[in-house]
Amino acid sequence: MAKEPSPRALVVELCKQFYAQGWVSGTGGGISIRKDNVVYLAPSGVQKERIAEEDLYELDIDENVLCKPANPSLTPSACQPLFFNAFRLRDAGAVIHIHAVDAMLVTLLYREQFECTQLEMMKGIAGHGYYDKLVVPIIDNTAQERDLADSMAHAIESHPTSHAVLVRRHGVYIWGKDWVQAKTHAECYHYLFEAAVRMHQLGMRAEVGERESPARLGFARG
């Protein structure tokens, strides 16, 4: 069995993958990984597909810097307090922040929370089954990323079954117990966000299941 890459190598590899998927373009977004109570964090304002292992910060769980990048001009990610919300409040092992278009669009279709049910990919989100209702809270955006920290923390605490928080007109924060679960959650959530956007275009609603009457709920007719 192949040895798992180091957290530094994983951050670099996953940022390249997410860039290819259109999730972290324009220096936005990224992933932070926690291992043995050390958090590996990308710097702010860098091209995520070109990030190098030596560009990363290492911090402890109290956000004290243990190791700085080789380049002294780099500063910690503006997402740092948001990542640490999930590390502290959910004991997350990895947190992903993504600016995917569908993650942004669903925040314009739903007011306080995104909801869906009876979509197969829900089963990829820990604690959810096909007939459950999956809920993701939506918080309003701010001019500065760090100013989202308090509202994100409140959303996490008030939605204990969610593994994500959407930010209106912005994107989404998604976490898991380790990088594997966080990546799985991100892929499943984004499938669900895209499905909801497409269903809306077709006159359907992702929060409505097949057991409910299409006519009563105003589904589009062929």
Which residues form the catalytic set? 120
Specify the length of the chain in residues: 222
Place of tokens 């760090």: 146
Distance from chain centroid for Cα 84: 13
Instruction: Give the closest residue to 58 by CA, choosing from 46, 48, 70, 73.
Output: 70
**Is 20 buried (19+), middle (13-18) or exposed (0-12) by CB count in 10 A?**
exposed
Q: Tell me how far apart the terminal alpha carbons of the chain are, to the nearest angstrom.
A: 52
Backbone angles phi, psi at 31, to 5 degrees: -140, 145
- Give Cβ neighbours of residue 17 (< 8 Å, ≥ 6 apart): none
Cα–Cα dist 33/46, whole Å: 17
**Dihedral sign for Cα atoms in the order 182, 63, 7, 19:** positive
Which residues on neighbouring strands pair with residue 34, listed in sequence order? 39
Question: With contact defined as beta carbons under 8 Å apart, do 94 and 34 qualify?
Answer: yes
The two tokens of residue 18 are 């997410």
